[in-house]
Structure 1
Amino acid sequence: MRLVDLLLACAALVGPAATAAAAPPRDPLGSPMWDFHARRLFGSDPVVFDEAVAVTIPPIAENQRVFPVTVDARKLAGVKRIVLFGDLNPIPVAVDFRPTGAAPFIATRIKLDQRTPVRAAVQTLDGTWHVAGSWIDAAGGGCSAPPVSRVKGDWADHLGEVRGGAWRDGIDTRLRVTIRHPMDTGLVENIAAYNVDRLTVSDEAGQRLAEMTVYGSVAEDPAFTFIVPGTGSGAFAIAAHDSNGLAFSGTARSAPGPAPALRK
C-alpha cells in the first residue's frame, strides 16, 4: 500500500480531524499581544468583552512601581476567578484571585514596565471569561528597577510582616491586607526573582474566603483589599507563602466605624 493510501486509511479510522480552537474575539483596544495572552490564559473557553466588569485605574501612571487597580465584578453572578494582567508587561499576570467566600472584588497595586493595556478577566461558573480594561500611559521601568527596600537595605528586617484591618462597608465588610516583601521580579541585575506567590484569607470559623496566586508584577509590599459579605465583628486569618518557601501569617481585626476610602 502506498504511504498516501495508508495515511488516508488511518484518517478514516480515527474520524474527522479535531476542530481548531476558535480565535479570540477582536480586541477593542488593539493590543499587539491580545491574541497571545487570550490563547494562553483562556484556551478554548468562550471570551466576551463585558462592561459589567469595572476596572478602575488612574489615567496615567504617576509612579510605575506602584500603580493602583480596582476590579469590581459584583454585577456578574457565579464568579469563580479574576485574573489581572498587563499585556505588555514582562510579567503579564499580577494576580489570579479565587473569591471562595468573598465578593468578586479586588484592589491592589502593580508594577508597569511600559505603556500597556491593563485588564481584568473574570471567569463565571459556565466557563465564560468576561474581559474589561483600558490602555494606561506609563514612563516604564516599574519591573526593572530595584525595590525601595533593597535600596535602603532594610528589607530583611521587615520581611513577612503581615498587617490587616476590617471595616464595615454598607452591608458588607471591607478587608485590607498588607505584607512586607520586596517582590523582586528577577529583571534587576544581580537580584534574583523573589516574590509572595500565594495568599489565603479565612474567617474565625476557618471558612476560606479568598485564595490568590500572586506574581512578581505586584508592587513591593503587596496590599490587597477584599469585600466580605456581612458586617459581623471578629478576626480574619491571613496566610501567605513566598517563592523561597517561607510562610507568613497574621490577623486582621474588625475596627469600629465605616471603611476608609480606597487608597489611590
Structure 2
Amino acid sequence: MQKMALIVSAAMLLALPPIGGLADDSPRAGMADPLGSPRWENLRRAFFGDAEVVFDDRVKVNAPAVADEPLNVPVAVDASALTGVEEVLVLVDFNPIVRALRFEPGEARASLAFRLKLNESTPIRAAVRTADGVWHLGGARVTTSGGACTQPSAGSGASDWQQDLNQVGSRLWQRPDGSLRLRLRIVHPMDTGLAKGIPVFYIETLEITAGDGRSLMRIEPAEPVAENPVFTLDIPPGLSVDSPLRIAGRDNNGNLIHAETMP
C-alpha cells in the first residue's frame, strides 16, 4: 500500500505545471498541490477549514532532498518575504504526528531552523498565517528510509539523563548584515510516545524575549522535533539588544526551561 501511494504521488507531481516564473508578489492561488501529495485535501480540511489557502513561492522550506539520518533532518523555514506574519505551522504529511512545530515570530524575523524526525519519505510544509487571515504555503519533499518517529530516543536509555534535562546551550552573534543570530540547543529526549514502553515526553513551549520584555519569538515544538533540539533564529538589524536575552519554557511534564544569553 505504501509503495502504491508513492507511485501515485510521483505521477501527480510529474503532471503539475512548472512553479517558477512568477513575480515575487504573486502567490499561486487556486492550483493543485505543487508537491502532489495524496494527503493534501485531508490536511487542508483538518488544519485550515474554510480559511483561504494559497501556495506561495515567498514561503521557503529548505531541507535535504535525501535525508540519510531520519532521526535528525535539518529544516529551515523562511517567511520573511511576507508582511504581517502572525504564526507559522510546520506540517509533515506522512508522519504519524503531522503537526511538527508552530512559531510566532514576534519582533524576530519570520524564519526558523530546526531538526525533525521523519517516519518515511514525505512533503514538509510551512503554513504561514498573515494578518488578513490568509494561509500562505510553501514546502519541500524529502526522501528518507524513515521509521524515526517510532524509535526511542538515545537520551531515554541513559541512566543520568535527568541531570542534564532542559539545560540550554546558546550562542548569539552578529552577522554581516547587522542582524543577530541566536542558536539554542536544549537537552531533551523529545520522545513521541510511539516507541513501545516509552511515554510521550517533549518540549511544549519556548519563549525568547528581550531584556525589556519584548517578545522575539514563541516556539511550540511537538513530538516530531529531533532529540536535543537546536533552534536558530534571526533578530533584525536595528533592533536594540543591550541586555541579556531570556529563554524560558517547559515540557509536557511541567519541567521548566530557563536561560539567558548576551551577544
TM-score above 0.5, yes or no? yes
Q: How far is the alpha carbon of 1:153 from its aligned partner?
A: 3.4
Do structure 1's residue 215 and structure 2's residue 245 form an aligned pair? Answer: no
CA distance in 2 between counterparts of 1:36 and 1:252 reads 42
Q: Indicate which of 213, 219, 225 corresponds to 2:232.
A: 225
Residue of structure 2 in register with 1:155 after alignment: 161
Do structure 1's residue 80 and structure 2's residue 86 form an aligned pair? Answer: yes
Q: How far is the alpha carbon of 1:43 from its aligned partner?
A: 1.6
Amino acid at match of 1:182: P
Q: Please, which runs of 5 or more residues in structure 2 have no aligned partner?
A: 1-29
SS at match of 2:163: helix
- Kept in 2: contact 1:90–1:113 (CA 8 A): yes
Q: How far is the alpha carbon of 1:52 from its aligned partner?
A: 0.5
CA distance in 1 between counterparts of 2:255 and 2:160 reads 18
Deviation per CA, 1:34-67: give whole Å up to 9, x if none.
Answer: 1111111112111111110111111111100000
Q: How far is the alpha carbon of 1:26 from its aligned partner?
A: 2.3
CA distance in 2 between counterparts of 1:93 and 1:79 reads 19
CA RMSD of aligned residues (A): 1.4
Q: Indicate which of 171, 184, 189 corresponds to 1:177.
A: 184
Alignment of 1:13-92 (within 5 A): 26-92=32-98
Q: How far is the alpha carbon of 1:163 from its aligned partner?
A: 1.7
Q: Indicate which of 101, 120, 128 corresponds to 1:122.
A: 128
Deviation per CA, 1:40-98: give whole Å up to 9, x if none.
Answer: 11121111111101111111111000000001111111111111111000111111100
Q: How far is the alpha carbon of 1:25 from its aligned partner?
A: 5.4
CA distance in 1 between counterparts of 2:98 and 2:259 reads 28
CA distance in 2 between counterparts of 1:150 and 1:244 reads 14
SS at match of 1:165: strand
Query: What percentage of aligned pairs have identical amino acids?
Result: 37
Amino acid at match of 2:85: V
- Kept in 1: contact 2:62–2:140 (CA 8 A): no
Q: Indicate which of 97, 114, 126 corresponds to 1:108.
A: 114
- Kept in 2: contact 1:181–1:195 (CA 8 A): yes
SS at match of 2:149: coil
CA distance in 2 between counterparts of 1:159 and 1:230 reads 33
Residue of structure 1 in register with 2:258 after alignment: 249
Return the TM-score normalized by structure 1: 0.84
Residue of structure 2 in register with 1:4 after alignment: none
Q: Indicate which of 157, 165, 174 corresponds to 2:171.
A: 165
Amino acid at match of 1:174: R
SS at match of 2:144: coil
Return the TM-score normalized by structure 2: 0.84
